[in-house]
Amino acid sequence: MESINLVESFSEFKEFKNIDRTTMMLILEDVFRNMLQKKYGSSENFDIIVNIDKGDLEVWRNRTIVEDGEVEDENAEIAYSDAIKIEPDFEIGEEVSEPVRMSDFGRREILSIRQNLASKILELEKDSIYKKYQERIGELITAEVYQVWKKEILALDDEGIELILPKTEQIPSDFFRKGDTVRAVVSRVEIKNNNPLIILSRTSPMFLERLFEQEVPEIYDGLITIKNIVRVPGERAKVAVESYDDRIDPVGACVGMKGSRIHGIVRELRNENIDVINYTTNPNLFISRSLSPAKINSINIDEENKRAEVFLKPDQVSLAIGKGGFNIKLAGSLTGYEIDVYRDAETDTEDVDIEEFADEIEEWIIQELKNIGCDTAKSVLNLTVEDLVNRTDLEEETVQEVMRILKAEFD
């Protein structure tokens, strides 16, 4: 009996790691059964035996012995005179099993078998990769950079599966070369042109959360819970944490001794400034903590419209707003309130640094005033419009507008 050696004939399919032996056997049987159906009209009377370990596949055709001249279906029946040539002891009504040899198939049929097998295995492999990574969404993975393009990076995991890290999912200061190791979270899995597309992200809050889980054992063990994370990738992030054990300081545990735990995370995020905040259900206290490092004087909350008016000393306003407005923006996202900051009326009589007006007065104008020694609001107001025009390169109209803004501060 001639068997079909699969290891030699289909050796290219052995490298597929995501297909188990049972599934491979079913695929092989299905492919050969379809081919038998086309060749003989039916595959019901065929036995297909697959031995993956040995790399063998045997196909047997079973036919019933009938009297000579009474064969109606040559695929299912065999004449008695032909049956006794196989085995002299056969009798009418018995079943004959014959091996189907490779030589029984034409070159075109063999090629068709290979193409169908390749197609089915590739389809199953794609489906397996899709399901595997669909279950890993939100998981932190490490991959090797294989190709760097303008709009994205192609990376490979341990099994050689292709992963995509788009430019939009990279931290602005990220820079990778081929062969570098990249850490990211699985953001989503899509099907594009019938292929699974695995998208990674380093800008997602999930990425920061997984880094904390990796660096802080108390978070991984569930002793500390991350309530919320907001971030502007590469600039600033705020993390609200809570501990269910009174003996554990959640902020201290996340930062670590002398910042040992958080330093590793900051380096991974390209020096992103991370504020770890103690979560509380008290909105006043939570908003106050979220605006750190600014010190708050008082807060008025409008629960219905989810707005908060925050009053601070003049020297604390710029701290509350933060560079580029990131601090107040993230505080609002973290707490769920629209936050407005105001200089406290009780401290308005004090002088105010000219830099505090950067949101109303252009930077080059502020610099002109500072060049003549006017670095506070009152130092500018103590001069006349004529003095300022003569001592700076500012137009009279510009000076009058600056005076109006500064006077409004003290009115």
Report yes or no: 249 and 242 within 8 Å, Cβ to Cβ: no
What is the structure's pLDDT at 154? 96
* pLDDT score of 153: 96
CA distances from 326 to 230, 235, 277, 315, 354 (A): 11, 8, 16, 18, 21
- Tell me the pLDDT of the chain averaged across its residues: 85
- Whole-prediction pTM: 0.66
Report the C-alpha gap between 396 and 11 in whole angstroms.
85
Q: Is the pLDDT of residue 237 over 50?
A: yes
- What residue ranges in 193-262 does DSSP mark as E strands? 195-201, 224-232, 236-243
Instruction: Place 173 in a pLDDT band, splitting at 50, 70 and 90.
Output: very high
Can you tell me the mean pLDDT for 372-395? 84
Separation CA 330–CA 328 (nearest Å): 6
Q: Which CATH superfamily is domain 4-131 in?
A: NusA, N-terminal domain (3.30.1480.10)
CA 359, 270, 210, 160 torsion-angle sign: positive
Identify the weakest region by mean pLDDT among 74-83, 133-142, 342-351, 378-387.
Answer: 342-351
Q: Homologous superfamily of 137-201 in CATH? A: Nucleic acid-binding proteins (2.40.50.140)
Taking the domains of the chain in order of start, what are their residue ranges? 4-131, 137-201, 225-340, 354-410
- What is the structure's pLDDT at 69? 78
Query: Which one of 1.10.150, 3.40.50, 1.10.45, 1.25.40 gives the CATH number of domain 354-410?
Result: 1.10.150
**Token pair recorded at residue 237:** 């992030």
Tell me the residue ranges of DSSP E strands in 100-180. 140-148, 152-156, 162-166
Is the per-residue pLDDT at 347 higher than 70?
A: no
Say whether domain 225-340 belongs to CATH 3.40.1380.10: no
